[in-house]
Structure 1
């Protein structure tokens, strides 16, 4: 089970945004942070703005650990092109992100747990590492015996999210083909993400 599964909406309230666009998020009713000082709003510094951007992007993908997230930044910096776009492309290549995008499960936290429990194959081989990096053309599929799980049925029937065009999905066979790494504009984030500020944060 994900270490943040039980308290994922605390991330929403701390950041002051409905990070995953879910109707059950408490931020829909209380647009302020948790605790007795949650309603105090100060204008954030440049550092605070950059930190918030990093926390949003990191939190969206199931609250990835800081050490691992920094490794993604380092890899994005090494690659040619825009570092912010590269970072988003790397995050979207994560196996749990692909499972979530394909609507095989309802939440990104469920996607991590689903992969870790061995319900998914990549090109016909079982992969249970949620951070596994999917390559262009890889086929991610839900195992036959896992397709009737309530979690999977809920994900497939969800109308909260749209399928992005960089992943081809066949819900009949419960498989998804990763076509290409997306650009920032291609990713259906429910809130504005600012990877350029994340890059500034790590480049200080």
Structure 2
């Protein structure tokens, strides 16, 4: 198993949840944290609960760096409306998140790599920045040469999850559209996300 995959699954065990809802997750067999003290679970403090909510959300999107995640929080605060809803919207606009939601990749980690390697076009132009924020009505398409890649075909045929309603996708053409900004209730998280606790964590 690669280091990336190991750290990915360690998040699941550390948080005690199947973060991406995958059947391969080791949490399905061992519902305790990694390491020799993993089976001791104390009742978390308020700070601990907020920290876990942040780690869960950060980890879900392929373990975004702390610096980047804080930037998203600050942008969410600047925008009008509910800060926690704004934060979710910004995260869901990331190109790697959109590629994952459109089922062009099996995991958020694979989606980040897929974008970095230049396999996606946004409005006909190649974009290889995973953190690129997609706008309403942008079209996202798999590059012609990449449409027959086994990883893409496997992802589009996967029955593990469905494409959410705020996206439109044609898997035969390997093309989709970011139709509208999602609300927290629109996003198909396999586990409960609490962006309100993340906001509390940063606004302490």
By how many angstroms is 1:5 displaced? 4.2
Where does residue 144 of structure 2 map in the other structure?
144
Partner of 1:34: 34
In the TM superposition, what is the alpha-carbon distance from 1:3 to its structure 2 partner?
Answer: 7.6
TM-score when normalising by structure 2: 0.97
User: Per-residue deviation at 1:176?
Assistant: 1.1
> For 2:176, what is the secondary structure of its paired residue?
strand
Question: 1:171 matched to which residue of 2?
Answer: 171
Residue of structure 2 in register with 1:118 after alignment: 118
Q: TM-score, normalised by structure 1?
A: 0.97
> Any runs of at least 4 consecutive aligned residues in structure 1 with deviations exceeding 2 A, and if so which?
2-7
Deviations 1:132-181 (A, max 9, x none): 00000000000111011111011001111111000000111101100111
CA contact 1:123–1:139 (8 Å) conserved in 2: yes
Aligned counterparts of 1:126 and 1:38: Cα–Cα separation in 2: 44
**Alignment: residue pair count:** 203
- Matched with 1:50 is 50
2:24: which partner in 1? 24
Shift of 1:7: 2.6
C-alpha distance in 2 between matches for 1:128 and 1:6: 25
Q: Measured at CA, do residues 143 and 175 of structure 1 come closer, stay the same or move farther in structure 2, by a change above 3 Å?
A: same
5+ long unaligned stretches in structure 1: none
1:101 aligns with 2:101: yes
The secondary structure found in structure 2 opposite 1:4 is helix
